[in-house]
Structure 1
Amino acid sequence: MADPINIRALAAGVLAPLLRQHGSLSTHLPDALEHCPPQDRALLQQLCYGSMRELFRLQAVAGKLLKKPFKPQDMDLQALLLVGLWQLRSSRIPAHAALHETVEATQTLNKAWAKKLFNAVLRRYQRERDALEQALADDPCFTWNHPQWFIDKLSHNWPDHWQAILSANDQQAPLTLRANERQQSRDQALAQLADAGIEAEPCRFSKAGLTLAEPMDVAAIPGFTAGQLSVQDEAAQLAAELLAATPGERILDACAAPGGKLCHLLEATPRLQEVLAIELEPARAQRIADNLQRLGLELECRVLTADASSQDWWDGTAFDRILVDAPCSGTGVIRRHPDIKWLRRGDEIAALAQVQLNILTNLWQMLKPGGRLVYATCSIFSQENERIIERFLRQHDDARHQPIEAEWGEARPFGRQLFPQVKGHDGFYYAVLDKAVLDKATLNKATDDSNA
């Protein structure tokens, strides 16, 4: 009979590469879950997500407890210590069980020499928690549980909102669903859930959205497997309405993975002439195809593995509507991907902004005069959002910014910004640009200006 798997050691194996800046939770956790007994998978996810969500506080505490940091080859022990501290600090796991299993995990990791160290360090934290954390009260990274560059940039961008954003980032995001309007209304979906004893309420801003009172396995949600419901945050559900597509139009969804906005568009707007989705990475393009198939929409959309910043895939026929879901820092969805605040670096934002502008500029050439482009990111930094649109408008005489009149988010000089909300939507940004129909004189002048 095989020895039981130590779930804490398994969690440390997931987190150790992340501490070395290799991969992410989404790349390392699935394999660990495959090797985890089914009854312990929820615990493994809780340990990994919880430890990453509170990483900066846990790292600060660990620094107070250790006389010297672990060597690079012992990063699995650093990860295990974070897992142990998270259990004692934030979980409902009984302290004696958390202590025992974490200390025993050192042996599972073939580092039994650390057993006494872990026992002493974790018990010291139990005894001296208040004093240890009080000594860290002046450390912004401990107080706000984010890297210093993030705190500085956010407080500069949003002097009236930064504290609320940081606090919301540390909360677990709710499970929000989208009702498939082709199969049932939102009210029918809510009634179906109520019949199954699942508490949910309608989203405030999305007409198709509903949020569960408690997260659960999506496979157990009535109607999910049949395609009546999909998982999608409320903020992301706003894209289809802003795009305002109508039957008979040709639509492009650029950077489309995993396909939530695309599927919502198809559900809400039947009889489109053609819908094309492009995605740079083959594995992510496959996720689009999988989502289309689950919803029975695979015949209504073509999926290409292609680069949105190039034109080698384009047949030259212009689109009526383009959705640019630009690659970004992901800083609006940290609640769902807490490793972002550890893996992302401040000096990456400028490079991302240039990629975003390049994609927007390239795709603009594919939009018909009179057409509409919706620019979206899941970022909360203006450098990736309104400043991109401002730069773009200065460079294109035929671009017309359309203010978004809505109850959600905050109106900006260009576009509209949503901040992450506790028990509500993620952080997101949208801007709407219409392409003007220019007369020949204006076109000639624009050409002369560009050639000057």
Structure 2
Amino acid sequence: MQLREMALDAYSRVMDEGGYSNIVLNDMINTSNLAANDRGLLTEIVYGTISKKLTIQFYIRPFIRTKLKRWQRNLLDITVYQIVWLDRVPNYAAINEAVEIAKKWGGPNDGKAINAILRSFEREPLEDFSQIKSDITRLSIETSIPEWIISHWKTHHGIDGAREIAHTLSSRPKMYIRTNTARITRTELVTSLVDEGFSAIPSEIQKDAIEVSGEVLQSDLYQEGLFSIQDVSSMLVNDALSPEPDDVILDACSAPGGKGLHALEKVPDGHVDLSDIHEHKIAQIEQQAERLRLTGYSAFQGDATSKDYPKQYDRIIVDAPCSGLGVIRRKPEIRYERKAEDVDTLVDLQLEILSNIKNYLKPGGVLIYSTCTIHQMENENVAYTFMKQNDDIEFDPFVLDAFDFEGPYRQILPQEAGTDGFFIARFRKKEK
């Protein structure tokens, strides 16, 4: 397949078949012989089209006058994305290839239909968002984030806050790595990365974080286990956890293991159990731990709602299954997959996990509850409900210096520091 046909195939697998964009693209790239520039363009087209889907469909809708097959709509989506957002792709090239793909996938008449729609679209100015009267609908179309999400953010953060969240999550995310401080200092790692030709800037948000650019996964330093890929907001869990060198810690919903392994890097005389409900993901956790050359851990399968854990823990991390609305620029399909009614089910699951996990926390022990979402019901509501349902659990303040924050829980909004949206709450089990 040619590059744009590969893009159509990948986009269709994600949007029509429920594939995960990162897995679909990785599989496709790994089984092709695309040059580096073409791999980048393929990734840009697929991620970009998913991220702009509602905006694209707003733009193209006036030019569609007949019923189209699903693959034809998908082909229009990826082509409009190239025309509007990719300056390095000439319009004629994008349109001509779309027509050829339509002929191949359908026939001559399909090619003519796609050509007519795209030529008409190219000639006319883009539809103006200002014609949309509703603030929520307009912001939804501008940022390609469904209305139910925008409406929730407006309720809790006002329309200006919702606008800031939505536009930030529509921008390109920064890339961060986490220093493996069990083996190297951040200063040493920055120097080594720069020596290899990468851009590397120590983050002011978290003491182990480095903002990077370039294909750092190709670095020898990564292969040697001196750093991991992790957003800086997720690293803040370790700041709230504040592990002691000899702590015994549980990461109860661990895969792919980032938070538990971060804790493991801080407990040279301790032990970390990393557990996850998905048995096949345990191998991924173990592979990362081995790459980082860490010891003092166990990784095993376990359902956090019912697992009988083997010991009592000084500290526990529950990075709970959630709606994921804080990471939609990294996993763009999430915004379309989630529905408002999903949240109630997730809240029940989160509380079920917490009510089981707290039984394995030592008196005086610390429990961190975190999510990568921006939804009050999953975050503040779950935190308060959990505390109220358990007389032996109390809020326990923690500090985030970069946010000038001290308190028992914190919703991190993406516009505050260009991070993913994230929530962290800290509890302590009362002494008997």
TM-score, normalised to structure 1's length? 0.89
1:169 corresponds in structure 2 to 169
Q: Which residue type is aligned with residue 384 of structure 2?
A: E
1:281 paired with 2:278, answer yes
Matched, 1:56 2:63: no
**Equivalent residue of 1:20, what SS?**
helix
Say yes or no: does 1:366 pair with 2:363. no
**Aligned equivalent of 1:443:** none
Q: Closer, same or farther in 2 for the Cα pair 1:193/1:394, shift >3 Å?
A: same
Q: CA RMSD in A?
A: 2.1
Q: Distance in 2 between matches of 1:173 and 1:267?
A: 26
Select which of 91, 95, 99 maps to 1:95: 91
Cα displacement string for residues 63-101 of structure 1 (whole angstroms, at most 9, x for unaligned residues)? 22211342xxx3222111100000001112122221222
Structure-2 separation of matches of 1:174 and 1:265: 23
Q: Is the 8 A contact 1:409 1:417 kept in 2?
A: no
Aligned residue number for residue 12 of structure 1: 8
- 1:196-244 Cα deviation digits (max 9, x unpaired): 33222111121010102x3x22333351111112111101111122212
Q: Structure 1's 431 and 103: CA in aligned 2 closer, same or farther, altered over 3 A? A: same
Deviates more, 1:260-269 or 1:336-345: 260-269
423 and 394 in structure 1: CA distance in 2 versus 1, 3 angstrom threshold = closer
Aligned partner of 2:80 in structure 1 is: 85
Asked whether the 8 Å contact 1:409–1:416 carries over to 2, the reply is: no
2:250 equivalent to 1:252: yes
**Aligned ranges 1:20-419 → 2 under 5 Å:** 20=16, 22-39=18-35, 40-70=38-68, 74-92=69-87, 93-130=89-126, 132-133=127-128, 137-138=132-133, 139-140=137-138, 141-159=140-158, 161-212=161-212, 214=213, 216-272=214-270, 274-297=271-294, 299-312=295-308, 314-315=309-310, 317-408=311-402, 415-419=409-413
Structure-2 separation of matches of 1:426 and 1:69: 39
Using the TM superposition, give the Cα deviation of residue 404 of structure 1 relative to its aligned residue in structure 2, in angstroms. 2.9
Deviations 1:167-209 (A, max 9, x none): 0111111111111112221111111222233222111121010
Report the 3-state secondary structure (helix = DSSP H, G, I; strand = E; otherwise coil) of the residue aligned with 2:24: helix
Distance 1:28 1:112, change over 3 A: farther
Q: Does the aligned pair in 2 maintain the 1:279–1:305 contact within 8 Å?
A: yes
Unaligned runs of 5+ in 1: 439-452
* Deviations, residues 246-270 of structure 1 (Å, cap 9, x unaligned): 2332211011011111221111221
Amino acid at match of 1:171: S
Contact 1:370 1:436 in 2 (8 A): yes
Say whether the 8 Å CA contact 1:401–1:414 is kept in structure 2.
Answer: yes
What's the CA shift for 1:137?
4.2
Is the Cα contact below 8 Å between 1:389 and 1:414 reproduced in 2?
no
Q: How many residues align?
A: 424
Q: State the shift of 1:28 in Å.
A: 2.7
SS state of the match for residue 384, structure 1?
A: coil
Moved more, 299-308 or 327-336: 299-308
Percent identity for Structure 1 against Structure 2: 29
Contact 2:325–2:421 (8 Å) recurs in 1: yes
In 2, are the aligned partners of 1:227 and 1:295 still within 8 Å (CA)?
Answer: yes
Cα separation, 1, equivalents of 2:64 and 2:329: 29
| Range moving further from structure 2, 258-267 or 32-41 | 32-41
Give the aligned residue type for 2:96. H
Q: 1:112 to 1:18 in 2, by over 3 A?
A: farther
SS at match of 1:369: strand
Give the 3 Å change call, closer, same or farther, for CA 224–410 of structure 1 in structure 2: same
Amino acid at match of 1:188: E
Give the CA deviation at 1:357: 0.6
Please say if residues 147 and 341 of structure 1, whose CA atoms lie closer than 8 Å, have aligned partners that are also in contact: yes
Task: Report the TM-score when normalising by structure 2.
Answer: 0.92
Runs of 5+ in structure 2 lacking a partner? none
**1:143 Cα offset (Å):** 2.5
Asked whether the 8 Å contact 1:331–1:380 carries over to 2, the reply is yes
Q: Distance in 1 between matches of 2:233 and 2:373?
A: 12
2:424 to 424, 430, 442: 430
Query: 2-side partners of 1:252 and 1:56: how far apart?
Result: 41
- 8 Å CA contact retained: 1:411, 1:417: no
Deviation, 1:145, is: 1.8
The CA distance in 2 between the partners of 1:190 and 1:235, in whole Å, is 19
CA distance in 1, matches of 2:141, 2:412: 26
Following the alignment from structure 1 to structure 2, what is the Cα–Cα distance between the partners of residues 405 and 135?
43
C-alpha distance in structure 2 between counterparts of 1:334 and 1:32, whole Å: 22
Cα pair distance change 1:423/1:10, threshold 3 Å: farther
8 Å contact kept, 1:256–1:277? yes
- Distance apart, 1:134 and its partner CA: 5.2
Question: Structure 2 vs 1, CA of residues 244 and 261 (structure 1 numbering), >3 Å: closer, same or farther?
Answer: same
C-alpha separation in 2, matches of 1:111 and 1:289: 49
